[in-house]
């Protein structure tokens, strides 16, 4: 692939011409770029609840924090960070639904991991710097590629073709030794047809939590060919992350006395001293190769063909004390008559995976109908294996031995057809049908050396329909219904071999108002689930949340999003979500007795989430924003236990940008500042909850013991940056 890009670069230079030819039509260039995501996005008047985010909006706060953190102020969004500072492992929940149920696509290509169904943004550091735009659809949304959306879908369009040559250098520094550096360039359209662009990034941070360091490197390369009706893009992008583990959290006592403590890597040396393993890290590389061919045949017809190959490989390393030989397929030792069957050791658990995708879609558009149909096929192969790299007693092990091996294979084929039909000037109808066929097979052992033999095939049918009624130029109403089905993840099967698929019926009723000074979106939603895979509150030994089927459950909520233009200089942008999120019937084992708890709250689903931005822009080159976020109390389990409650929190950030336009050398110099958590609130945005039965105190009495872990977030911290554009 590297040779391909060298060839493309030489090809571009060979055809470079300094002639003063007419530049490409910028409107047509934009349309050709947007064909990449036409199949998974919706228009402004669609009966689908959504928010759009532009490159310009991302740039203002893009100082090193991960993409989910940059989306924190969108409606119904709750974000969290393992390291506490927004760098490294981060997560996002929408309407209380976990990231495993949020569908992510990049240029229409699925990004969710095929087996875990999760999204690991840490594998694509500084990716926000190469995002042209993104759309967050809440609820089921429109048909998309990859695993279904159960709370939201985020579809990303990467950098568009630049008409003129440009370059930029960006550097930022801040609290916890956080620093981000990137360089970007574009040749502009050479000979009216070719462009070569790229980015190199590096992010480092010590993290708010002790030793929660991040060493992140990333690249993005794009070679493009554009003609009157053709756009061909070849992309290669990826990253290498080395992050010290911070996924174990801390208990309530430690939270009160030493909230930055990190238990990961802790062990006791031969003298009885507490030590921390210096390489208790997650070390992973991921490379993506995409090829897109967009074609406009006339004013009505356009097509997109997308190809993708993703190669991921890496491990996480752990120091473990007093591990049983039997857990690692080791043989007992007899040394001088003493039987040795445990050892201290350092282990690595590996994942090596390949992911192939083929997308094709076609669009037909007239004044009355917008019709899109297409297909997506993906194939995933994941190799899971573990090795011991050091042991105090190595027993019969040899260098290169693996103590478990497992393989997962997943194939996903889907077909969709959707259309918006304009019945008249006031009414438009929306219909969307998708069929999805999934095959998932596993062989071998899990990391706990347990056989995992899965052979499942799923056939899903996901219909959607809606109507938009335009009252006048300023007001419109919409209603939609969507059905979604979704398969369990690998970890779901590990927790429960009899895990079931989940189903969702999503009803959305909205009112949109837009005038010169006011923009208002109001949406009422009812999401009725059957066997929803809700977070149980517990986590596995890699920090992955454990999910369980919940029978019947629902989410009923009201979302309000607004923009008020108070004056030419002052804008207020509030949003609020009020919701009720319930399991209809919950049973729990308490003190050895199965108890019917009745209706309970769904885990990690606050009833109130609100945000606001006060934006003051006295001139075109200066802007200051005061950003506020409130997240109501929430339970980390599904039994409404007080031991599982996370307190509400209210935090505020201050963002300032100032642009200078020199007369020589630079096109612009942008200075940015971000103060996070201005008032130093000590808060927790995420955690876990567990129970176990105690039979030691009284063998005749089973007592249920509860416990919880917490991920504290940073108090007041800052980031300062400068971007030089040429």
Q: Could you tell me the pLDDT band of residue 23, with boundaries at 50, 70 and 90? A: very low
Q: Coil, strand or helix: which one is 687? A: strand
pLDDT for the residue numbered 11: 37
**Residue among 133, 3, 116 at smallest CA distance from 55:** 133
pLDDT tens per residue across span 227-273: 989 999 999 999 999 999 999 999 999 999 999 999 999 999 988 89
pLDDT for the residue numbered 283: 98
Is 442 inside a domain boundary? Answer: no
pLDDT for the residue numbered 4: 40
pLDDT tens per residue across span 108-142: 999 999 999 989 999 999 999 999 999 999 999 88
As a whole number, the mean pLDDT across the chain is: 91
Please check the confidence at residue 222 and state whether its pLDDT lies above 90.
Answer: yes
Please check the confidence at residue 61 and state whether its pLDDT lies above 50.
Answer: yes
Is 460 inside a domain boundary? Answer: no
Please report, for the domain that includes residue 604, its CATH number.
Answer: 2.40.170.20
Beta-sheet pairing, 152-158 with 102-106: parallel
pLDDT tens per residue across span 504-521: 999 999 999 999 999 999
Number of domains in the chain: 1
- Cα radius of gyration (the chain): 26
For Cα atoms 136, 138, 143, give the angle at the middle one, nearest 5 degrees: 85
Q: Could you tell me the pLDDT band of residue 295, with boundaries at 50, 70 and 90? A: very high
pLDDT for the residue numbered 26: 62
Please check the confidence at residue 400 and state whether its pLDDT lies above 90.
Answer: no
pLDDT for the residue numbered 592: 62
pLDDT for the residue numbered 8: 38
Comparing 200-204, 474-478, 531-535, 585-589, which segment has the lowest mean pLDDT? 585-589
**Residue among 678, 605, 594 at smallest CA distance from 638:** 605
Please check the confidence at residue 538 and state whether its pLDDT lies above 80.
Answer: no
Q: Could you tell me the pLDDT band of residue 144, with boundaries at 50, 70 and 90? A: confident
Q: Which residues share a beta bridge with 207?
A: none
Is 153 inside a domain boundary? Answer: yes
| Average pLDDT of the segment spanning 595-600 | 83
Please check the confidence at residue 600 and state whether its pLDDT lies above 60.
Answer: yes
Please check the confidence at residue 485 and state whether its pLDDT lies above 60.
Answer: yes
Please check the confidence at residue 9 and state whether its pLDDT lies above 90.
Answer: no
pLDDT for the residue numbered 38: 75
pLDDT tens per residue across span 151-166: 799 999 999 999 999 9
Is 615 inside a domain boundary? Answer: yes
Collect all residues with Cβ–Cβ distance below 8 Å to 716 and sequence separation of at least 6. 675, 676, 677, 678, 679, 680
| Average pLDDT of the segment spanning 569-595 | 85
Query: pTM of this prediction?
Result: 0.92
Is 131 inside a domain boundary? Answer: yes
Burial group, residue 696, by CB count within 10 angstroms (0-12, 13-18, 19+): exposed
pLDDT tens per residue across span 354-364: 999 999 999 99
Please check the confidence at residue 13 and state whether its pLDDT lies above 80.
Answer: no
Using CA atoms, how far apart are residues 393 and 336, in angstroms rounded to an integer?
Answer: 14
Is 456 inside a domain boundary? Answer: no
Share of the chain above pLDDT 70, in %: 93
Q: Could you tell me the pLDDT band of residue 20, with boundaries at 50, 70 and 90? A: very low
- Structural domain for 705, as ranges: 2-429+466-725
Is 455 inside a domain boundary? Answer: no
| Average pLDDT of the segment spanning 397-419 | 94
Question: Residues 347-385, buried b or exposed e (16+ Cβ, 10 A)?
Answer: bbbbbebebebebbbbbeeeeeebbbbbbbbbbbebebb
Is 459 inside a domain boundary? Answer: no
Using CA atoms, how far apart are residues 377 and 360, in angstroms rounded to an integer?
Answer: 9
Comparing 500-509, 581-590, 651-660, 698-707, which segment has the lowest mean pLDDT? 698-707
pLDDT tens per residue across span 301-342: 999 999 999 999 999 999 999 999 999 999 999 888 889 999
pLDDT tens per residue across span 77-88: 999 999 999 999
Phi-psi map region of 635: left, alpha, beta (phi>0 left; psi -120 to 50 alpha): beta
């Amino acid at each position: 692939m590297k040779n391909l890009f060298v060839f493309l670069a030489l090809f571009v230079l060979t055809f470079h011409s300094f002639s003063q030819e007419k530049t490409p039509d910028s409107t047509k260039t934009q349309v050709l770029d947007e064909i990449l995501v036409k199949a998974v996005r919706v228009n402004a008047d669609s009966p689908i609840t959504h928010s759009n985010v532009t490159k310009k909006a991302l740039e203002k706060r893009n100082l090193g924090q991960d993409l989910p953190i940059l989306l924190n102020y969108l409606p119904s969004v709750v974000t969290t960070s393992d390291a506490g500072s927004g760098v490294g492992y981060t997560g996002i929940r929408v309407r209380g639904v976990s990231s495993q149920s949020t569908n992510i696509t990049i240029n229409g290509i699925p990004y969710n991991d095929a087996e875990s169904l999760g999204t690991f943004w840490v594998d694509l550091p500084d990716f926000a710097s190469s995002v042209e735009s993104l759309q967050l659809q809440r609820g089921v949304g429109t048909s998309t590629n990859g695993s279904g959306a159960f709370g939201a879908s985020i579809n990303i369009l990467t950098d568009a073709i630049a008409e003129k040559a440009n370059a930029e250098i960006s550097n930022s520094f801040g609290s916890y030794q956080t620093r981000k550096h990137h360089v970007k360039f574009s040749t502009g359209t050479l000979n009216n047809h070719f462009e070569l662009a790229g980015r190199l990034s590096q992010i480092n941070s010590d993290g708010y939590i002790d030793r929660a360091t991040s060493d992140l490197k990333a690249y993005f390369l794009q070679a493009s060919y554009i003609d009157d009706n053709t756009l061909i893009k070849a992309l290669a992008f990826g990253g290498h992350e080395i992050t010290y583990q911070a996924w174990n959290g801390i208990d309530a006592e430690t939270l009160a006395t030493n909230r930055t403590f990190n238990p990961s890597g802790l062990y006791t040396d031969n003298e009885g001293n507490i030590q921390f393993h210096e390489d208790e890290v997650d070390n992973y590389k991921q490379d993506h190769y995409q090829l897109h061919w967009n074609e406009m045949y006339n004013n009505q017809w356009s097509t997109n063909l997308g190809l993708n190959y993703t190669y991921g490989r890496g491990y996480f390393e752990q120091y473990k004390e007093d591990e049983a030989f039997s857990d690692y397929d080791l043989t007992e030792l007899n040394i001088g008559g003493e039987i040795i069957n445990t050892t201290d050791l350092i282990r690595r658990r590996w994942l090596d995976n390949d992911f192939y995708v083929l997308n094709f879609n076609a669009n037909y558009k007239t004044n009355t109908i917008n019709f899109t149909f297409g297909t997506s096929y993906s194939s995933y192969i994941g190799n899971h294996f573990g090795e011991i790299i050091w042991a105090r007693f190595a027993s019969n092990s040899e260098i290169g031995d693996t103590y478990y091996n497992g393989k997962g294979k997943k194939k996903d084929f889907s077909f969709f057809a959707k259309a918006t039909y304009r019945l008249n000037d006031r009414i438009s109808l929306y219909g969307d049908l998708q069929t999805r066929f999934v095959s998932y097979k596993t062989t071998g052992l899990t990391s706990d050396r347990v056989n995992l033999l899965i052979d499942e095939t799923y056939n899903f049918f996901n219909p959607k329909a809606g109507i938009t009624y335009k009252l006048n130029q300023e007001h419109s109403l919409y209603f939609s219904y969507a059905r979604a089905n979704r398969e369990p993840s690998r970890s779901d099967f590990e927790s429960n071999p009899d895990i079931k698929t989940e189903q969702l019926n999503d009803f959305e009723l909205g009112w949109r108002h837009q005038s010169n000074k006011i923009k208002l979106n109001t949406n009422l939603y009812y999401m009725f689930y059957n066997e929803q895979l809700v977070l149980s509150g517990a986590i596995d030994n890699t920090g992955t949340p454990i999910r369980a089927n919940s029978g019947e459950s629902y989410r009923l909520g009201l979302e309000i999003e607004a923009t008020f233009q108070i004056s030419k200089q002052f804008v207020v942008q509030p949003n609020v979500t009020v919701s009720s999120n319930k399991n209809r019937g919950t049973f729990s084992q308490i003190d050895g007795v199965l108890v019917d708890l009745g209706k309970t709250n769904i885990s990690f689903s606050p009833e109130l989430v609100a945000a606001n931005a006060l934006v003051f822009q006295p001139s075109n080159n200066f802007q200051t924003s005061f950003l506020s976020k409130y997240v109501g109390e929430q339970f980390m389990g599904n039994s409404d236990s007080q031991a599982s409650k996370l307190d509400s929190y209210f935090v505020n950030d201050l963002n300032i940008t100032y642009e200078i336009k020199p007369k020589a050398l630079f096109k612009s110099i942008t200075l940015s500042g971000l103060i996070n958590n201005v008032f130093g609130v000590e808060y927790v945005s995420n955690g876990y909850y567990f129970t176990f039965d105690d039979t030691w105190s009284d063998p005749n009495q089973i007592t249920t013991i509860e416990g919880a872990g917490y991920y504290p977030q940073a108090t007041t911290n800052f980031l300062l940056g400068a971007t030089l554009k040429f």
